[in-house]
Amino acid sequence: MALIHSFEQSGNTLFRHRGQIPLFIFITAIPIIFLTDTTIFNDTFYLILTVFSIIVALSGFIIRAYTIGTTPKGTSGRNTREQVAESLNTKGIYSTLRHPLYLGNYLMWLGLLLFTFNAYYIIIISLFFWLYYERIMFAEERFLERKYGDE
């Protein structure tokens, strides 16, 4: 199987299960929070990083809410079985960002990752998130390319 078909096939499979990554991140974050030694940080740094993690998570939530609230129906849906696009998103936030929902997802989860105070966990989950969503984005773009061509 050619790599392009493998990427698309794995992307479509991951697309159907994309709602399960938050559960994976949350479950793995719980022991990391308890196992990470935060006593090495002074109280001020701890407070600043905690507030920063909340701000990052809220910014992701705001991006997602704005995107969902301003995107036409039949485009960026909650469908999990297959790709659906009655029209192509080219206005609003989609005119400046290619995948605003996934950016919002990442920022929300980055907030949680930062709260663990564990640099290794942040890097590992960020790389996992990147690979996971890269495949999904590839499959989505192949679908849109077939349906809408150069548009």
Domain boundaries, the chain: 19-73+86-148
Token pair, residue 150, equals 């150069």
> b/e for 79-113, b at 16 or more Cβ within 10 A?
eeeebebeeebeeebbeeeebbbbbbbbbbbbbbb
pLDDT of residue 36: 86
Tell me how crowded residue 66 is: count the other CB atoms within 10 A of its CB: 14
Better-predicted residue by pLDDT, 87 or 105: 105
* pLDDT at residue 74 is higher than 70: no
Q: How far, rounded to the nearest angstrom, does the alpha carbon of residue 10 sit from its chain's CA centroid?
A: 17
What is the residue-averaged pLDDT of the chain?
82
pLDDT of residue 85: 61
User: Mind listing the pLDDT tens digit for each residue in 101-110?
Assistant: 889 999 999 9
pLDDT of residue 87: 65
Token pair, residue 69, equals 């609230």
Q: How many distinct helices (H) and strands (E) make up the chain?
A: 5, 0
User: Mind listing the pLDDT tens digit for each residue in 12-67?
Assistant: 777 777 777 778 888 988 899 888 888 788 889 889 999 999 999 999 999 999 98
Verdict on whether the full-model pTM lies above 0.95: no
- The C-alpha atoms of residue 29 and residue 110 are separated, in whole angstroms, by 11
Q: How wide is the angle at C-alpha 148 spanned by C-alphas 147 and 151, nearest 5°?
A: 165
